[in-house]
Structure 1
Amino acid sequence: MMNLSRYFVTTPIFYVNAAPHIGHVYSAVLADALHRWHKLKHPADATVFSTGTDEHGLKIQQAAAASNQSPGDFCAANRDKFQQAFRAANIEYTHFVSTSATAHRERVQHAWRCLQERGLLRKGVYAGWYCTSDETFLTESQLRPHTFSDGSSGFVSIESGHRVHWMEEDNYLFPLAQFQDDLKKWIATGPITPPLFNGIVEQWLQERQLPELSVSRSSARLKWGIDVPDDPQQKIYVWLDALLNYLTVIGYPGDQQRWRAFWPADVQVIGKDILKFHAIYWPAFLLALGLQPPRRILCHSHWLVDHQKMSKSLGNVVDPNDCLRRFTVDGFRYFLLREGVPHSDNNYSEEKVISYLNTELANTLGNLLNRCTSTSVNRKQTFPAPPPDAALTDADRTLLTDIHALPQTVAEHFEAFHIYKAIDAVMHTLREVNAYVQDTAPWTLAKSGVEGDQDRLEVMLFVALEALRVAGVLLGPVTPGLGETVLGKLGCGGTRLEVDGGGCGLVGGRGR
C-alpha cells in the first residue's frame, strides 16, 4: 500500500557520454507527470522526484579522452546539457544526482562496507566477455559473431549490437544466486509494469542459476570511478555505483528516520534496455543491504523515428531541445505522453506531432475555450452558476455526468500508468462537448430575443465551461503551462482535485 504521507518517484540517472535525446526526455516527462499527478491528489504530501547523471565508467573515461577534456570537465559540460533540457521541458524534479559528487561517493563506499561486513563480497579472478559500451559482462548465449569494418572478426551483444572483448582480471564478486529465491518471490507479486516486462524477468530468474556478479574493475584499466574502500587497486562497478543513487539521493545512510520514510520508492521509471540492471541487480543489492525492493518499476519501450531506430549514422537522432522550441513545451510534452505507450516501441514523426497539436490541442481544446469565453457568446465574461435540475435537458445531464465522472476515470488510468488513456479520456469528453456546443449554437442564442434563449445559453455555457475546468486540472500534469492558461482564462485557479473514500472529484475554483 502506498504511503500517503510520502511519495518517491525516480528516473534513471542518465549516462553523460552524449547529449540528451528524446528517450531521456520521455523518461523524465513521464516521471514528472506522475509526480505532478500525485501532488494534485495529495498536495500535503512530502515528495521526492529524483533524476540525475551517471558519470563514472570506462565509456566516460574514453569519451573524455577523445574530446581532450578531463573526465570531470567532460561530465560537468554534459550534465549541464541534461539540466538545461529538463528545465526547458518544465520538468520539476526535487533532487538531481551527480555520481561524481563527494557526498554520493562517500555514501556508495558506506554501502560497499556494509556488503563486505555481511560477507557478501569476495575477491577472485573473473573471466568473461565484456562490453564496454554496455558496461557489463555477457554470456556466450548473449553474443553473435560479427565482421567489423576493418575486416576483423569478433563478437557483439545480440541486444545492443556493441562489440565485446574477452577479459580476465581480479575483481570483487557478489553472489547473485544467494538472492534468487527472494527475487522470484518479489517478481511473483508483479512489481514491474507493463506485465510483459515482469514476465521477461520472471523467465530470466527461472531459466538458470544466476552467476556471480563482478562488482569492481581494476584501477589499472578504469581510472574514473569510485575507489573500493581500503583497496585503491579496484574501482566500484559503475552499475553498483549508479543504482545506489536511489538511496544516496534521499540521504542514505545518514538520518535513518528521514530516508527510511521514503524508501522503498513508489515508482522507478526506466527504459527497457536497463531492465536487467533494475529488476535483478538492484533488488538483489537492496536485499543484501537488508532493504526492500521498490514498490513498482515502470518500464517503457524505445522511441523510433519514422519507424527506424535512431542512430548518428542515419542522421535521424531527434534533438529534444529543437522539438521543445518548434512545438512548444506543452505541445511536445503532450505528444510524448499521448503517443508514448510503455508496452511497445513508439514512433516519432513530425507529421504526428503536428497532427496532435492541431487536431486535439488547437481544435478540440483551444477552439472550445475560445468559443465559450468570447465576448460575443459569454457577454458577462463569467462562469455561470450551476443551473437547477429543471433547466437541464437530457443532453445536459448526460454530458454533466460524463464530465463529473472524468476525474475518477483519469485517476484510474494514472494509477495504472496509462497516461495515454487518461489523455484520450479527456479528449473524448471534450469532443462530445464540442459537438454539443455546435448543436446548441450559442452564437445564435446570444443574439436571440426569444424568451428562454438567454437561460438556455447560460446552461450551455455552464456545461461547456465545466468541461474545460475539469480538463484544465486533469491535463495539468501532462501540459502544466496549458492547464494553468485554461484555468486562468476561466477564472478557476483555485480548482483542486479531492480524493474521498477511494473516489475523486473536483472542488472549488468556479470563478468570476
Structure 2
Amino acid sequence: MADPYYITTAIHYPNGKPHIGHAYETIAADVIARFQRASGREVRFQTGTDEHGLKMAQKARELGVSPRDLCDEMSAHFRNLFDLLEIEYDNFIRTTEDRHHAATQALWKAMEANGDLYLDRYEGWYSIRDEAYYDESELTEGEGGEKLSPQGTPVEWTVEESWFFRLSKYAEPLLALYRDNPEFIQPDSRRNEVMRFVEGGLRDLSVSRTSFDWGVKVPGADDHVMYVWVDALTNYLTGLGYPDKTDDFAKFWPADLHLIGKDIVRFHAVYWPAFLMSAGLPVPRQVFGHGFLLNRGQKESKSLGNVTDPVGLVEQFGVDPLRYFLMREIAFGQDGSYSPDAIVTRSNAELANSFGNLAQRTLSMIFKNLDGELTAGLPEDAADAELMSAVADAVSGLRAGFAKLAFSEGLEAWMRGVFACNAYVDEMAPWALRKSDPERMKAVLNVLFRCVRDLAIAVRPVVPGSIDRLLDQMGIAGDTRDYAALGDAGWFAALIASGFKVDKPTGVFPRLEMPETEGAA
C-alpha cells in the first residue's frame, strides 16, 4: 500500500450561503483526493465550516438569531452543496464541536508551555471582514479617506487586553523552512510573497479577544476567546483526534496538502507552522494557494450583483460539466474566469462531442454490428498499436499533470488521447468495414472499447458520476476502476469470459443548451 495522504480545504466561513468560490476549491480538493485514491493511497479528505469570530457574532445579531442557530443553518447549506457536487470527504468538521474546543485548548496549552504566550495590551488596526490584524504600513486609503486592508476591506482601531504569541521568535525558523523545502508553499509566486513578508520582520501576534465571547475560551482566562485563526487552523488536527495520539493522527499527520485561497496564504504559511513549531508538532508538507474564480473577468460581490449560486449552475448544467469546466479551463494556481456560455462551449466540445460521442459510437457499433459481443486475441495492425500507445501516453500525461496539481495540463493530455481515438474511427471507418472486411471491423471496435475504458478510468476523478454510468454499461466492475486496473493485461479476456455483452448504450454526456441571452456574453 502506498503512503497515506491527508488533504484539507480551508474551512468555510458560514456567514452566508456558499458561493462558486467555495465550490471551486472543494471540487479541486475532491479531484485530488479521488486521484490519490485511484493511485492506491489511503486518503483522508477533510473540509468543514469555521463558525467562530466577530463576523459570525455580528451577522447573527443583525439577523436576530443566536450565533449557534446561524451556524447550524449555514453549515447545512455547505453540506448540501458538497453532496450535490459529489464531494467524497471523509470528515466534515465544525469548529463549534466539543472535540474541536478540546483540541484548540490543547494546542494553546502546548504553546503556553513552550513560553510563547504572554498577556499584554493590543492597540492596532483590525479588519472584521478578514478577521486579521494589519500593520499601518500595509494599509491603503479608500476614496473617502478611510483606511483599508491589503484586501480592500475596512479596518478599525482596536484597543484591548490580549494574549500575544511570540511570532517574532519564529522568523528565522520559518525562513529556514521555506529555504529547505521549496515545495512547502506553492505556487512559487505565493512562496515569494510569503518570504518577502517574513524577511521584513515579524511582530508578535495578538491571539485573544475580550470584546466578544463567541469563540473558544482561553484556558485559565475565561474572559478571553481565542483569535479565530488559532481556532480555525487547529481544525486540521482536530479531525485526526488531537490531542490524543490516535492511529489516525499517527498515520495522517503531517498533512500532505492544505488547499486554500491565495488570500489566506499568510495564515497557513506563517502563523500555522509557527504555532505547530511552538507546540512541538510537525508542519504540513505543502500549502497551495489557488487563484480567484472571476465572473466574466470580475471578482464577484454583492454590490455588483454578480454573485453566483453554484446550486443554480448545477441545476442548469449538471454536476460533471461544472466539475470538468473548472478543472479544465483554469490553470490551477492562477486566477480564472467563468461564465455560463463558457461552461456550455467547453462541455459540448470536449465531453459531449469528443469523448461522449466516441464512447456512444463505439458501444452502439458493438451492440448493432457484433450483437454486443467482444472478442479477445484478434490480430492487430500498426494503426491499432499506434492508437493504444497514444492513449497510454494520454493517460500518463493526465496522471503526471494531476500529481503536480496541473489539472488543465493533465486534461489537455487526456484530450489528445480522445482526439487520437476519433481520428482512428474516421480513418478505419468501421461502418464501411462491416461489408468489406467484417473481421477487421471486429478488431477495430474491440480496440476502441479498450481505449475508451482506459480513458474513462483516467478521467474518473474529475467526472465520477458520468464515468461510473459509462463503465457500468461497459461491464467494468466497481472495484476495477482505479489506476492499478490500467496495468491489468488480462482484464479484457476476463470480461469476455464472464459472458458480458454490450447492451444498447445510453449517452452519459448530453449536449448542453446555450444559456438565454441575459446569461450570454
What's the TM-score, normalizing by structure 2? 0.91
Q: 2:191 aligns with which of 194, 198, 214?
A: 198
Task: Please show how residues 90-489 of structure 1 align to structure 2 within 5 Å.
Answer: 90-148=86-144, 153-157=145-149, 159-188=150-179, 189-190=181-182, 191-206=184-199, 208-218=200-210, 221-375=211-365, 378-388=369-379, 391-392=380-381, 394-446=382-434, 448=435, 450=436, 453-489=437-473
Q: Is the 8 A contact 2:213 2:224 kept in 1?
A: no
The answer on whether the counterparts of 1:368 and 1:434 sit within 8 Å (CA) in structure 2 is yes
Do 2:4 and 2:251's aligned partners in 1 also have CA atoms closer than 8 Å? yes
Partner Cα separation in structure 2 for residue 425 and residue 340 of structure 1: 15
Deviation per residue, 1:381-419 (Å, 9 max, x gap): 13442533xx31x32221111112333322211111111
Alignment correspondent of 1:495 = 480
- Cα distance in 2 for partners of 1:55, 1:383 equals 55
8 Å CA contact 2:187, 2:289 repeated in 1: yes
The within-5 A match list for 1:23-102 is 23-42=21-40, 45-102=41-98
Alpha-carbon shift at residue 103 of structure 1 (Å): 1.1
Residues in 2 aligned to 1:135 and 1:506: alpha-carbon distance in whole angstroms:
52
Residue type of the partner of 1:35? A
Distance in 2 between residues matched to 1:435 and 1:194, nearest whole Å: 36
Question: Equivalents in 2 of 1:203, 1:387: separation in Å?
Answer: 62
SS in 1 for 2:164: strand
Q: Which amino acid aligns with 1:116?
A: E
Query: Structure 1 residues 27, 383: CA separation in 2 closer, same or farther (over 3 Å shift)?
Result: farther
More divergent stretch after superposition (379-388 vs 123-132): 379-388
1:300/1:343 contact within 8 Å kept? yes
Alpha carbons of 1:201 and 1:291: their partners in 2 closer, same or farther (altered >3 Å)? same
Q: Secondary structure at the match of 1:424?
A: helix
Please give the alpha-carbon distance, in whole angstroms, between the structure 1 residues aligned to 2:378 and 2:283: 51
Partners of 1:333 and 1:58 lie apart in 2 by 33
Conserved in 2, the CA contact under 8 Å of 1:9 and 1:266? yes
| CA displacement at 1:29 relative to structure 2 | 0.7
Structure 2: distance between partners of 1:198 and 1:276 = 10
Alpha-carbon distance, 1:463 to partner: 2.4
- Asked whether the 8 Å contact 1:275–1:299 carries over to 2, the reply is yes
Q: Say if 1:228 and 1:35 are closer, same or farther in 2 by CA, change over 3 A.
A: same
Tell me the CA shift for residue 443 of structure 1: 1.5
Distance in 2, matches of 1:386 and 1:104, equals 58
Q: Unaligned 5+ residue runs, structure 1?
A: none
User: Which residue type is aligned with residue 431 of structure 2?
Assistant: W
Per-residue CA deviation, residues 178-232 of structure 1 (Å, 9 max, x unaligned), is: 11111112112121222221222122222x21110011111xx212111111111
Return the offset for 1:168: 1.6
- Structure 2 gap segments, 5+ residues each: 501-521
Q: 1:4 to 1:234 in 2, by over 3 A?
A: same
Q: Distance in 1 between matches of 2:488 and 2:173?
A: 42
Question: Partner letter of residue 312 of structure 2?
Answer: D
Q: Aligned with 2:10: secondary structure? A: strand
The percentage of aligned residue pairs carrying the same residue is 36
TM-score (norm 1): 0.92
Q: Aligned partners of 1:197, 1:399: CA distance in 2, in Å?
A: 40
Matched residue SS, 2:65: coil
- Letter in structure 1 aligned against 2:209: R
Question: How far is the alpha carbon of 1:357 from its aligned partner?
Answer: 1.4
SS, match of residue 87 in structure 2: coil
Shift of 1:498: 4.8
Q: Which residue type is aligned with residue 141 of structure 2? A: P
Q: Deviations over 1:104-140 (max 9, x none)?
A: 1111111111111111100011111111111111112
Within 1, Cα distance between the matches of 2:279 and 2:414?
Answer: 44
Which residue in 1 is equivalent to 2:516?
none
| Counterpart residue type for residue 109 of structure 1 | Q
Residue type of the alignment partner of 1:266: D
Q: Which amino acid aligns with 2:159?
A: E
In 1, Cα distance between equivalents of 2:105 and 2:44 = 23
Asked if the contact 1:196–1:343 (Cα under 8 Å) also holds between the matched residues in 2, the reply is no
Deviates more, 1:305-314 or 1:86-95: 305-314
Tell me how far apart the structure 2 counterparts of residues 417 and 264 of structure 1 sit (CA, whole Å).
19
